[in-house]
Amino acid sequence: MKVNAKLLPSSSFGWFCFGICASASLFKFGSFIPGFYLIAFSVSVLCLSIIFVFPPLFPKRWERRIRSFAIASFVFILFADTGQVSLPRQPKPWFRSILIDTCKQSPLSPLEQRIVIGLVTGSTKEIPKYFKEIAKESGILHLFAASGLHLGIFIGSIQFFGNLIFAKRRWISILLSLALGWYYLYLLNFPVSFVRAYCFAFFTLLSSIFYRKIAVSDLLIISSAGIAFYLFSDFLSIGFLLSFGAVFGIFYLKPCLDQILMPNSHSFIKENFTLTIVCSLCSFPVLVNYFHSYSFGGIWINFCLVPLAGILLPCIYMTIFIRSILPDQLEGFVSDWIWTPTSYFLSLFLQFFQFLSTRGRGFQFWEEFTDSFVLYSLILIFFTWSVYRYNLHQKTIVKWILSILLISFFPLVYFYPHSGNLPVFIQKGKGYFSITIRDQFFLYGNCSTYKRLELPNTKDKIQTILFESESCLQTVLRLKKKHGIQNTIWYDKLTSPFQPVLEKDGIQIQSALPLGHTITSELSLLRFDGNPKEIQSLLRSLHEIKRKNTKENWKGILVLDFPPWKKKEAKEWITYQKLLGISNAWEIFIVEDHFEIPLLHNLTNPNLL
């Protein structure tokens, strides 16, 4: 693979793919404009006509590139499925079932079994909630998501043993690893980070068979174009940006850091350090922009745990493979022996994780000023790239300036004034959930008489309780008396006859708009339980709330908390959002499936093991 610092593609096919990426990006940002498809199609036809009918307007080299770019844009507009709906990609059910049965027959503890399943399937839903929270705040949640790390280790392990077996015909091990890598990709149902990693492996290994080299820029753009054309719903998603941001740092920034930091050294510690820094820096703008939070402790935690994960994952893959081919007659005799390496390294991984996460996760959340952080990080990223691109790292003054900027970036951002009161999300049971933001406690859904609901422990005392169900009256009155709550607001849809009595008890009644129409000035969050009698009322509320919120950064979230027998209907709401007349400004979530939104809770439990 040819390593250079050029951002634009080098080949004609690279420019063709660049045209697909550019068109897909325009469709991502312009699909909300009425008649955008017709405008894009007309402009594409006009550009093709100018290029093929009129005499060449550019040098021959650029004329060929522009022609490839224009043809690719036209092909994308005609054939790409831009109406895909983004849904969570879960592993194949039968593969997950086999994996669960295999782990249950192992000597691992229940926690270790769930972590093994999470590592193999790349699904954070498999790991316990409290473990997931600490992993998120420690910055290592990517280890439990299908990523390039998993596929790289998987294909690398197969290549290692394949090269030993086929020492003189290594092309066989390459084709074998690509075939098994594709099957692994199929089992996990094509998650975007895995697709990106497989495209990298495919083009890199295939070019090595034919003794050809592929430029880094072509590799990035061709992989992006494949995702944009076939998986348009995942193009420019959070997973896409994090995955491509990390490899951008590895390809374009790491060589610069390697030249600045001990250029003559090739030690494992140095390589791991520069790799961790560039991946952390390039993931920073995406995480801060979407979640307004970042795990600064994740830099050193990743530095320690990612190499250990590189040992643990091959052990897991090898153990599962041996277990799958082992005759049932031998299972009882050698089962414990087979799982011994995995059990040892997994226990070591968890012990290190617990030690490191309790010593300092460095998790920070900002309510404001994140735009300046994102801008600063992007400037630093492209400054580092330009230093390497134009060989400026050989100048001493430039080397010192870049070193100071890189060293000071994370500490300066970490100690910048921020809000210590994070949003808190609590789900106590089916049919209701609560969210605490600043000094307000939002209680959605029905309250059960069998479960005693309490207020969460927050830095600032809760001053206001907002609820929507009459079944929560008794609970709210108890909390009001116990904690001395000043303000209590009931969003009553049916206009209760007991309003005068309740108002004497200090409960305000609101009926114009539903609960959550103003969580903050930039966020609205509504819950819908699937009651068909309230659909029209809900649609009117969604339209009215969207009309009143004109801020560019406003976000609307609709949480579907349907009963179990209506889960299929809930998924149809996401699929047919436009047909239901719900604006694209609203994002729809199913509460059990993926309630992962930027107002997530910060509840932690340090007692992992």
Per-residue pLDDT band at 600 (split at 50, 70, 90): very low
Average pLDDT over residues 354-380: 78
- pLDDT digit string (tens) for 282-317? 888 888 888 777 888 888 888 888 888 888 888 888
For residue 510 the two structure tokens come to: 């609101």
Asked if 229 and 22 touch (Cβ cutoff 8 Å), the reply is no
- pLDDT digit string (tens) for 147-157? 777 788 888 88
Query: How far is it, in rounded angstroms, from Cα 61 to Cα 67?
Result: 10
- pLDDT digit string (tens) for 65-104? 888 888 888 888 888 877 766 666 778 888 888 888 888 8
Of 9, 50, 599, 544, the residue nearest 291 (C-alpha): 599
Q: What pLDDT does residue 429 have?
A: 63
Q: What pLDDT does residue 4 have?
A: 57
The DSSP element (H or E) to which 328 belongs, if any, is helix 328-359
Q: What pLDDT does residue 602 have?
A: 32
pLDDT above 60 for 574: yes
pLDDT above 60 for 424: no
- pLDDT digit string (tens) for 528-553? 888 888 888 888 888 888 888 777 67
- pLDDT digit string (tens) for 175-211? 888 888 888 888 888 888 878 888 888 888 887 777 7
For residue 584 the two structure tokens come to: 């694209």
Question: DSSP characters for 363-425?
Answer: EEE-SS-HHHHHHHHHHHHHHHHHHHHTTGGGSHHHHHHHHHHHHHHHHHHHTS---S---EE
In terms of phi and psi (left: phi > 0; alpha: psi -120 to 50; beta: otherwise), the region of 486 is alpha
pLDDT above 50 for 5: yes
Asked if 538 and 517 touch (Cβ cutoff 8 Å), the reply is no
How far is C-alpha 374 from the chain's CA centre?
17
Location of structure tokens 């089962």:
335
Per-residue pLDDT band at 607 (split at 50, 70, 90): very low
Q: What pLDDT does residue 459 have?
A: 64
Asked if 257 and 222 touch (Cβ cutoff 8 Å), the reply is no
How far is C-alpha 343 from the chain's CA centre?
29
- pLDDT digit string (tens) for 514-532? 888 888 777 888 888 888 8
Q: Is the pTM of this model over 0.75?
A: no
Location of structure tokens 């299929």:
568
Asked if 440 and 513 touch (Cβ cutoff 8 Å), the reply is no
- pLDDT digit string (tens) for 387-412? 888 888 778 888 888 888 888 888 88
The pLDDT mean for the chain works out to 78
- pLDDT digit string (tens) for 256-282? 888 887 777 778 888 888 888 888 888
For residue 323 the two structure tokens come to: 């277990």
Q: What pLDDT does residue 604 have?
A: 33
- pLDDT digit string (tens) for 433-449? 888 877 788 888 888 76
Alpha-helix runs per DSSP H in 105-191: 110-121, 129-138, 148-165, 170-187
- pLDDT digit string (tens) for 212-265? 777 888 888 888 888 888 888 888 888 888 888 888 888 888 888 888 877 777
Asked if 188 and 195 touch (Cβ cutoff 8 Å), the reply is no
Average pLDDT over residues 360-376: 76
pLDDT above 80 for 601: no
Q: What pLDDT does residue 567 have?
A: 64
pLDDT above 80 for 358: no
Per-residue pLDDT band at 504 (split at 50, 70, 90): low
Asked if 491 and 527 touch (Cβ cutoff 8 Å), the reply is no
pLDDT above 70 for 331: no
Query: How far is it, in rounded angstroms, from Cα 350 to Cα 357?
Result: 10
CA distances from 417 to 138, 366, 424, 458 (A): 20, 8, 20, 19
pLDDT above 70 for 507: yes
* Pairwise pLDDT comparison (54 vs 2), residue with the higher score: 54
Ranges 4-18, 86-100, 338-352, 498-512, most confident: 338-352
Query: How far is it, in rounded angstroms, from Cα 125 to Cα 117?
Result: 10
φ, ψ for residue 596, nearest 5 deg: -110, 90
Average pLDDT over residues 109-138: 80
Q: Give the range among 56-65, 338-347, 531-540 with minimum mean pLDDT.
A: 56-65
Q: What pLDDT does residue 164 have?
A: 81
pLDDT above 60 for 418: no
Query: How far is it, in rounded angstroms, from Cα 189 to Cα 182?
Result: 10
For residue 240 the two structure tokens come to: 């896409």
Could you tell me what percent of the chain has a pLDDT over 70?
85
Average pLDDT over residues 505-512: 76
Asked if 138 and 183 touch (Cβ cutoff 8 Å), the reply is no
